[in-house]
Amino acid sequence: NAGVTQTPKFRVLKTGQSMTLLCAQDMNHEYMYWYRQDPGMGLRLIHYSVGEGTTAKGEVPDGYNVSRLKKQNFLLGLESAAPSQTSVYFCASSYGGDRYGYTFGSGTRLTVV
């Protein structure tokens, strides 16, 4: 029962480097989300997807790009990392609707130096 799997779990980047965070779910969920969690800020939505091949901006999309080429995968890219992107990133997925809520991954802790 894997649920939502995020890779990597930890990463340190230098300013200006790029990387991709991978989120994979095995529950056949249509909806997928990327959030960042910062102290005192709660969770803020970066981008989300309502189905394979779709993406949309959330609350804090600047500096990030996403892709959903396959239904089970949702990738978050940082093209040129900045120290302000130091955060814990969570992926979540859902069927849609309010009946079941979201299933979250265990997070990726990213530090940009």
Partner 1 sequence: GDSVTQMEGPVTLSEEAFLTINCTYTATGYPSLFWYVQYPGEGLQLLLKATKADDKGSNKGFEATYRKETTSFHLEKGSVQVSDSAVYFCALMSGGSNYKLTFGKGTLLTVNP
Closer residue to partner 1 in complex, CB, 33/64: 33
Tokens 């779709």 belong to 54
Torsion of CA 66, 34, 55, 95, to 10 degrees: 140
- The DSSP symbol for 61 reads -
Report the distance separating Cα 33 and Cα 21, nearest Å.
12
Residue 102 binds partner 1, judged by CB under 8 A: yes
Report the distance separating Cα 27 and Cα 2, nearest Å.
9
Residue 46 binds partner 1, judged by CB under 8 A: no
Give phi and psi for 89, each to the nearest 5: -105, 130
Residue choice 50, 79, 80, 84 for contact with partner 1 (CB under 8 A)? 50
Range 4-43, binding partner 1 (CB under 8 A): 4, 31, 33, 35, 40-43
Residue choice 56, 80, 111, 113 for contact with partner 1 (CB under 8 A)? 56
State whether residue 20 is helix, strand or coil. strand
Supply the minimum distance, in Å, between the C-beta of residue 52 and partner 1.
Answer: 15
Interface residue list for partner 1 (CB under 8 A): 4, 31, 33, 35, 40-45, 48, 50, 56, 58, 90, 92, 94, 96-102, 104-107
